[in-house]
Structure 1
Amino acid sequence: MKDICAVSTPLAEGGISVIRISGENAISIGAKVFKPLSCKSVENMAGYTCAYGKIVDKNGREVDDGVLTVFRAPKSYTGENVCEISCHGGIYVTKKVLRLCIEQGAELAQRGEFTKRAFLNGKLSLTQAEGVMETISAQGEYALNSANLTKEGRLFRLISDMSRKFVTILGELAAWVDYPEEDLPEISEDNLRESLKNALAGLDKIIADHDSGMILKNGVDTVIAGKPNVGKSTLMNMLLGYDRSIVTNVAGTTRDVIEESAKLGELILKLSDTAGIHETDDEVEKIGVDIAKKKLKNAMLVIEVFDISRELDEEDLELLEYVKKLGKKVIIVLNKSDLENVVERSLLEKYSDYVIEISAKLDEGREELQKATEKLLGIGGYDADSTIFANERQIACAERARKYLAMALESLDMGETLDAVTVMIDNGANALLELTGEKATEAVVDEVFSKFCVGK
């Protein structure tokens, strides 16, 4: 297998950069570009040791000074010989060191190739490898805890236990069917039924948590909508914690869509502060209103903002009806709670079960908005020590396994032959083995690692 190298830290100016080399000849390649000051050669270094020294080109000219760490096979991340060179974190010097490694025989690594080698060399299961990427991309505590559980093998063990039971059952069924003349004990239908029910319960839990997991991992496309000058931009600034949208007393200040991400508890809201939705003769403002309506159609969550000090008018009601027809999840915010309330709240409650009062200007009501959002989206109350949020590939396998195992249970309950039940269990077990990666095709493996960053 070829030797590979890549920059494993972000390619941007910083304190240090790390260039990783992996493969049979990784240590000898490291020895050609790095001259340690504490020993004769990199090739003499033991695994899990570091040395300070000089990074040199093929002519022996110093390029930089730094630290090299050696990991010897099989006790490395990839299971191969690995060298990691830490140099100063300038973009030019980082690329220069990488080029030196390539000149000495290493090839540039593809996306996720280091972790893919860890999988192929038995250091990680496929689900654990996916947990690595989920750890990197986690944006909140729940997502990070789930990623860590997956990375340490919790999901693999859960699904693997299921699949092993069914592989054992399939062996017993096959022996009983193929060798009727042998005095083999008949398969207990009660035990088989119990195994199917237990597996279905476990899969149901994983599937049920999926939607919430995707929200926590990926964030929620959220549109802040309302008439001009009701406080949409002030609300966005409050959620962000800094002034991103221009706020004035002039109606129609926001004419385009302003997009940013804000953290609300464990949720990431992908906010769009839109132009005030209303009738206007201003051509530029009209374009902004049209864009706002398009954003509403694509949003998962809509925060409709109203001025608590102004009675609802026809344009307010039109907005409420428009969003209702779109069938979106809606939170209604009565802004400017520091002013006198003249809004008929009961009218708004017809359009959403979540009507809250805030003062975005005074930064009041954030906690109420968070609780309403979490409740509306079904987020919260998870046991961080046990909840795993499966990704799209894993959930597709889980749903396929569930379908076949449910059909097996139904066939069993209807009194069909064990041959028919066996076919369904076999299909279900294959889906479980694909989920863990124990029976994944090369195309599936390639697709998983194509989502990784280069250098990991």
Structure 2
Amino acid sequence: MEQTSTVAAIATPNAAGGIGIVRISGGDAIAVADKVFSAVSGKPLNEAAGYSAHFGTVSLDGKPIDEAIALVFRAPKSYTGEDTVELSCHGGVYIVRQVLRAVLNAGAQPAGPGEFTKRAFLNGRIDLAKAESVMSLISAQGEQAASAAFNTLEGRLSGRIESVAHSIINVCAHLSAWVDYPDEDIEELSTDELEKTFSAAQSELESLISGFENGKAVTQGVDTVIVGRPNVGKSTLMNLLSGCERSIVTDVPGTTRDIVEQTVRVGENLLRLADTAGIRDTDNKIESIGVELAKKRLSRAELVIAVFDGAQELTDEDREIVDFCSGRRSLAVVNKSDLGFVCDTDYIKSRFGAYVELSAKTAQGGGELEKVLSDLLGTSNFDPSAAALTSERQRNCCVRALDSIKEARFALESGVTLDAVNVCADCAVDALLELTGERAGEAVVNEVFSQFCVGK
């Protein structure tokens, strides 16, 4: 995974703005910048100190194309750990692309997705958990999500993981020495000491995994489907939550036939929301296709919002939806509170763990919906100031480590030899160090950075 080339990319969004930034990183970054940038001072950037700014012009094919400020960072005190130059020019899309073209013509290679952050990882500037938090911070859509990502970037998650890993590493080292060198005067660890270490590690890992589940709706979003029979107000609710008319709203049952999807934020809860066709038996071939699509979409949803028309008696179709939601994480929304209720709300309450009454048309009850969602999804228990897992990859590493710790404790309780206990403990260490990147293979690293945008 060695990085030797000098790369460049536009580091600002691909849109017009006040400024645009072209970032160059690598052993020849300053030399490349000197070929296209001329400081008004007349001094080349090669003579500039790190953390210095220089005003001048950028040229393409010998012709000045824009005024710019060149920021020089010397290795290893840069974002990537390499020599880096950032050219800040005017933010027109065409101008920024021309500056990048000049830099590439001068010898730099186009940077791949996340390549600058990947180089920061490979050069030891950040670990893999911190690298992932960069992308989490960029994509954060709420205060709590941004706070959680920033705290991970500051190293709080890495600190918790390293603390657990080091406690187990110490046990592994001691057990290995005791097993491999029986003639040496190495004190045997007692069962109580091992149990205390493994128990503490298990508690910490369970806390991290629980925190991820509670914060998932904040940091990643929850795959959510709105379901109900036709014309109960599903599309009106979808439009209320999204703040715009994403779904067609009419008095004609069966209007929604395709699945309409939108990511919305309800308080701090991020929902990847899908409004499906009303579920009912129908002879309309087009509508029946929509109903089948809705059923398939429901099968993979993490949260189901079941909508009922409070102004009408419950139908067989309503009761079928109630049965479908049994055993799933679901929320019952009894709609049309502005018209008065005649449906059996007690029955609905008894079948759902979460329940709210509202008018999607007038938005009455919207605040209660936010509160109920937070309780249901666990976000009311989420503390963004605490170290938190921010990706499924990190969660998977912790789950594997937890399973290995449980196996080590079981082996210990069963009287298995200590070298077998050590094997389980070492597997836990491997999983934890994969999380931070210390033992992550190239495929894992490449997968992490493939999620980044070019220029970061």
Please state which band the TM-score falls in when normalised by the shorter chain.
over 0.9
Helix, strand or coil at the partner of 1:70 = strand
Q: CA 1:443–1:292 in structure 2 vs 1: closer, same or farther (change >3 Å)?
A: closer
Between the aligned partners of 2:272 and 2:444, the Cα distance in structure 1 is 30
TM-score, normalization by structure 2: 0.92
Between the aligned partners of 1:455 and 1:138, the Cα distance in structure 2 is 18
* Alpha-carbon offset, residue 433 of structure 1: 2.1
Q: CA 1:355–1:181 in structure 2 vs 1: closer, same or farther (change >3 Å)?
A: closer
1:35 lines up with 2:72 in the alignment: no
Query: Would you say the 8 A contact 2:136–2:390 is kept in 1?
Result: no
* Alpha-carbon offset, residue 369 of structure 1: 1.2
Structure 2 letter corresponding to 1:324: C
Structure 2 letter corresponding to 1:307: D
Between the aligned partners of 1:186 and 1:329, the Cα distance in structure 2 is 48
Q: CA 1:254–1:407 in structure 2 vs 1: closer, same or farther (change >3 Å)?
A: closer
Q: CA 1:99–1:158 in structure 2 vs 1: closer, same or farther (change >3 Å)?
A: same
Choose the corresponding residue for 2:68, options 66, 69, 74.
Answer: 66
* Alpha-carbon offset, residue 148 of structure 1: 1.6
Query: Would you say the 8 A contact 1:206–1:390 is kept in 2?
Result: no
Structure 2 letter corresponding to 1:122: G
TM-score, normalization by structure 1: 0.92
Between the aligned partners of 1:427 and 1:214, the Cα distance in structure 2 is 26
Between the aligned partners of 1:384 and 1:353, the Cα distance in structure 2 is 26
2:394 aligns with 394
2:295 aligns with 293
Helix, strand or coil at the partner of 1:349 = helix
1:196 aligns with 198
1:384 aligns with 384
Structure 1 letter corresponding to 2:426: D
* Alpha-carbon offset, residue 200 of structure 1: 1.1
Between the aligned partners of 1:277 and 1:171, the Cα distance in structure 2 is 60
Structure 2: stretches of 5+ with no match in the other structure = none
1:444 aligns with 444
Helix, strand or coil at the partner of 1:380 = helix
Structure 2 letter corresponding to 1:177: V
2:115 aligns with 113
Aligned CA-pair RMSD: 2.2
Between the aligned partners of 1:46 and 1:195, the Cα distance in structure 2 is 49
Q: CA 1:231–1:177 in structure 2 vs 1: closer, same or farther (change >3 Å)?
A: closer
After TM superposition, the structure 1 = structure 2 runs for residues 319-358 of structure 1, keeping only pairs within 5 Å, are 319-321=321-323, 323-324=324-325, 327-358=327-358
1:403 lines up with 2:403 in the alignment: yes
1:364 aligns with 364
Instruction: Tell me the alpha carbon deviations over residues 170-199 of structure 1, each in whole angstroms, 9 at most, x when there is no partner.
Output: 332233333333333333332222111111
1:17 lines up with 2:20 in the alignment: yes
Between the aligned partners of 1:254 and 1:178, the Cα distance in structure 2 is 69
Instruction: Tell me the alpha carbon deviations over residues 57-115 of structure 1, each in whole angstroms, 9 at most, x when there is no partner.
Output: 13x21112222111111111011110011122222222221111111111111121111
Between the aligned partners of 2:68 and 2:292, the Cα distance in structure 1 is 56
Q: CA 1:190–1:340 in structure 2 vs 1: closer, same or farther (change >3 Å)?
A: closer
Q: Is 43-52 or 272-281 further displaced after alignment?
A: 272-281
1:92 aligns with 94
Structure 2 letter corresponding to 1:442: E
1:173 lines up with 2:183 in the alignment: no
Structure 1: stretches of 5+ with no match in the other structure = none
* Alpha-carbon offset, residue 23 of structure 1: 0.8
Choose the corresponding residue for 1:143, options 142, 145, 148.
Answer: 145
Choose the corresponding residue for 2:130, options 128, 131, 150.
Answer: 128
After TM superposition, the structure 1 = structure 2 runs for residues 405-444 of structure 1, keeping only pairs within 5 Å, are 405-444=405-444
Q: Is 268-277 or 248-257 further displaced after alignment?
A: 248-257
1:231 lines up with 2:233 in the alignment: yes
1:303 aligns with 305
Query: Would you say the 8 A contact 2:8–2:108 is kept in 1?
Result: yes
Q: CA 1:168–1:232 in structure 2 vs 1: closer, same or farther (change >3 Å)?
A: closer
1:26 lines up with 2:29 in the alignment: yes
After TM superposition, the structure 1 = structure 2 runs for residues 313-324 of structure 1, keeping only pairs within 5 Å, are 313-321=315-323, 323-324=324-325
Query: Would you say the 8 A contact 1:225–1:303 is kept in 2?
Result: yes
* Alpha-carbon offset, residue 387 of structure 1: 4.2
Between the aligned partners of 2:22 and 2:416, the Cα distance in structure 1 is 60
Between the aligned partners of 1:412 and 1:294, the Cα distance in structure 2 is 45
Between the aligned partners of 1:315 and 1:402, the Cα distance in structure 2 is 43
Between the aligned partners of 2:258 and 2:368, the Cα distance in structure 1 is 28
Helix, strand or coil at the partner of 2:8 = strand
Q: Is 329-338 or 178-187 further displaced after alignment?
A: 178-187
Query: Would you say the 8 A contact 1:299–1:328 is kept in 2?
Result: no
Query: Would you say the 8 A contact 1:167–1:429 is kept in 2?
Result: yes
Q: CA 1:406–1:292 in structure 2 vs 1: closer, same or farther (change >3 Å)?
A: closer
* Alpha-carbon offset, residue 374 of structure 1: 2.2
* Alpha-carbon offset, residue 285 of structure 1: 3.4
Number of aligned residue pairs = 453
Helix, strand or coil at the partner of 2:339 = coil
Structure 1 letter corresponding to 2:59: V
Between the aligned partners of 2:367 and 2:380, the Cα distance in structure 1 is 14
Between the aligned partners of 1:257 and 1:168, the Cα distance in structure 2 is 54
Q: CA 1:100–1:305 in structure 2 vs 1: closer, same or farther (change >3 Å)?
A: same
Q: CA 1:384–1:106 in structure 2 vs 1: closer, same or farther (change >3 Å)?
A: same
Between the aligned partners of 2:258 and 2:186, the Cα distance in structure 1 is 75
Structure 2 letter corresponding to 1:37: V
Between the aligned partners of 1:388 and 1:296, the Cα distance in structure 2 is 29
Q: CA 1:182–1:236 in structure 2 vs 1: closer, same or farther (change >3 Å)?
A: closer
Q: CA 1:172–1:299 in structure 2 vs 1: closer, same or farther (change >3 Å)?
A: closer
Query: Would you say the 8 A contact 1:127–1:436 is kept in 2?
Result: yes
1:4 lines up with 2:45 in the alignment: no
Instruction: Tell me the alpha carbon deviations over residues 359-406 of structure 1, each in whole angstroms, 9 at most, x when there is no partner.
Output: 112111111112222222233222222140242222222222222222
* Alpha-carbon offset, residue 337 of structure 1: 1.0
Q: Is 17-26 or 131-140 further displaced after alignment?
A: 131-140
Query: What's the % identity of the aligned pairs?
Result: 47
Between the aligned partners of 1:118 and 1:452, the Cα distance in structure 2 is 14
